[in-house]
A and B are shown apart, each in its own frame.
Chain A
Amino acid sequence: MREVDLAVVGAGPAGLTAAIEGAKRGCSTVVVDMNPHPGGQLIKQIHKFFGSREHRAGTRGIEIADTLFHEAESTGVEVMVGAEVYAIHDSTLEVAQTFGEDSPILPSKEATTSHSRPLSIVARRIVLAMGGAENALNFPGWTLPGVMGAGAAQTMINLWRVLPGERILMVGAGNVGLIVSYQLMQAGGEVVAVIEAAPRIGGYGVHAAKISRAGVPILTSHTIVGASGESRVERAVIAKVDPSWRIVPGSEEELEVDTICIAVGLRPNARLASLAGCKLHYSPSLGGWVPIHNSRMETTVPRIYIAGDLSGVEEASTALEEGRLAGICAAASLSKERAGDPEEIKAIERRLLSLRSGPFCQRRQDAKQELIGIGETQCPK
């Protein structure tokens, strides 16, 4: 058993900043992540980020992951990778090691009876930052090998340097669909088309322009009708949709592809929060079921805080700020001396507001306000 002031689940942008703020305020802090690397999904973001300089615009995600990890280490945070939290009860996190050279998941032939060496962490405060998960899309053939999340393909090419297929159909022209299409091309794949059911491209024009210039058609008002093949994707049928999202008869077109990437949004990865007893609220603008939290990022379960995509699917930039906020508030709740300068919280709130302004983000700002409004009545005072 381990005892710590602050335990953080998830070593992505939100979890690492929460841990850094906690450790800076004197909390003994551990971060637990099931992946083999810290950094969450930043480790596959090889494009430069947008926004202002304070949000690391012009920096590639992979570099931000490095910087955060080193900052965490230098402030005394213990980052535990290859370790999965499978239960939380009261103040205790139950952790199973998922792999590793010396105790690994199982892959040792000598240890097939016990998959893992369990560990209990008792924490005075918990920050959950498990991020989001990609949505699936249901169409005939959607379970065939070769249909995968766009993020999965991005992980394969940028992190593991393996191209999952050679001729790819991208479903969804939001930022994820557009960016991953371009990165698949950088990795040597051929993107046959990007289709989008909405009448207009959802992502930024600059991303769309890059793939258009390379000759990839972006077909708006198009959906996928089905995928087929012998035990794997060999072709896809796409078709036009009318303004009420119905398939236009006779508009079907067959494409020869071996991979279909799905980029139709993400949802908060709220399972562990739900297991821990956090009440959830359904918010379409935030990606689905999201744990209720107040303005201090505390959930309906006292001493459990959340941050990042788990508290509503947004961007890495907002995750960095929410993580800071959660870390500061969790530490401050342990002792007044740890609260630090109250201006810090105000500054974070100002930056979050600016990140959530503009035509793309107003909906999220409104949804966040609604969620926090519910949180102020249901979460601990």
Chain B
Amino acid sequence: MRVIHHPILGDLPEVRQVKIWVDGKEIAARKGEPIAAAIAANGTKIHRYTTKREEPRGVFCGIGQCTDCVMVVNGVPNVRTCITPVTEGMTVETQHGAGRGGR
């Protein structure tokens, strides 16, 4: 959910919209925001499934340190979505395991 009104920060400023593809679905993101913010605003919490037990994982630290939020971005696995800004036409996929070879 976007925070549109805020008592300290004021109303959310208008910025250019960027379209990204998340698991094949087009979503609107705000230019400059990280992938994790765009998909959280879209209601998605699961970023990846672990290698051995296929357990779901989402954002934990939000500042690029824990690597829980990694996804496959433009075909490249293990991208930290909390610190990687969206770019126009970017493809983002839920990662399974190490994200290579379709595992």
Chain A residues with a Cβ under 8 A of chain B? 34-36, 41, 46, 60, 98-99, 104-109, 112, 115, 133-134, 136, 143-149, 151-153, 155-158, 160-164, 166, 186-188, 231-232, 269
Beyond A106-B79, A162-B41, is A99–B84 a contact (Cβ under 8 Å)?
yes
Inter-subunit contact A164/B59 (CB<8 Å): yes
Q: Which residues of B contact A146 (CB under 8 A)?
A: 45, 58
Q: Can you name the residue of chain A whose Cβ is closest to the Cβ of B13?
A: A161
The number of residue pairs between A and B whose CB atoms lie closer than 8 Å in the complex comes to 130
Q: Which residues of B contact A112 (CB under 8 A)?
A: 74-76
Kindly state the separation between the CA atoms of A98 and B34 in the bound complex, as whole angstroms. 12
Main secondary structure on B side of the interface with A: loop
Q: Which residues of B contact A147 (CB under 8 A)?
A: 60
Inter-subunit contact A186/B7 (CB<8 Å): yes
Instruction: Verify if B26 is at the interface (C-beta below 8 Å from A).
Output: no
Kindly state the separation between the CA atoms of A101 and B67 in the bound complex, as whole angstroms. 22
Inter-subunit contact A232/B41 (CB<8 Å): no
Instruction: Verify if B27 is at the interface (C-beta below 8 Å from A).
Output: no
Picked from B33, B55, B62, the residue with its CB within 8 Å of the CB of A152 is B62
Task: Give the 4 A-B residue pairs with the shortest CB-CB distance, closest first.
Answer: A145-B58, A152-B62, A160-B37, A145-B45
Kindly state the separation between the CA atoms of A189 and B63 in the bound complex, as whole angstroms. 21
Inter-subunit contact A162/B37 (CB<8 Å): yes
Q: Which residues of B contact A133 (CB under 8 A)?
A: 61, 63, 65-66
Q: Which residues of B contact A41 (CB under 8 A)?
A: 63
Q: Can you name the residue of chain A whose Cβ is closest to the Cβ of B73?
A: A107
Inter-subunit contact B45/A35 (CB<8 Å): no
**In the complex, per-residue mask of B1-21: 1 if CB is within 8 Å of any chain A CB, else 0:** 111111111001000000000
Inter-subunit contact B1/A34 (CB<8 Å): no
Inter-subunit contact A36/B2 (CB<8 Å): no
Inter-subunit contact B62/A155 (CB<8 Å): yes
Beyond A98-B83, A133-B65, A149-B61, is A162–B2 a contact (Cβ under 8 Å)?
yes
Kindly state the separation between the CA atoms of A112 and B63 in the bound complex, as whole angstroms. 24
Inter-subunit contact A166/B45 (CB<8 Å): no
- Beyond contacts A152-B60, A162-B41: 19 other A-B pairs, Cβ-Cβ < 8 A, are A99-B85, A106-B74, A106-B79, A107-B84, A107-B87, A109-B75, A133-B61, A144-B56, A145-B57, A146-B45, A148-B60, A148-B61, A151-B61, A156-B40, A161-B2, A161-B6, A161-B9, A163-B2, A232-B58
Kindly state the separation between the CA atoms of A117 and B50 in the bound complex, as whole angstroms. 29
Q: Which residues of B contact A164 (CB under 8 A)?
A: 40, 59
Inter-subunit contact B64/A34 (CB<8 Å): yes
Q: Which residues of A contact B61 (CB under 8 A)?
A: 133-134, 148-149, 151-152
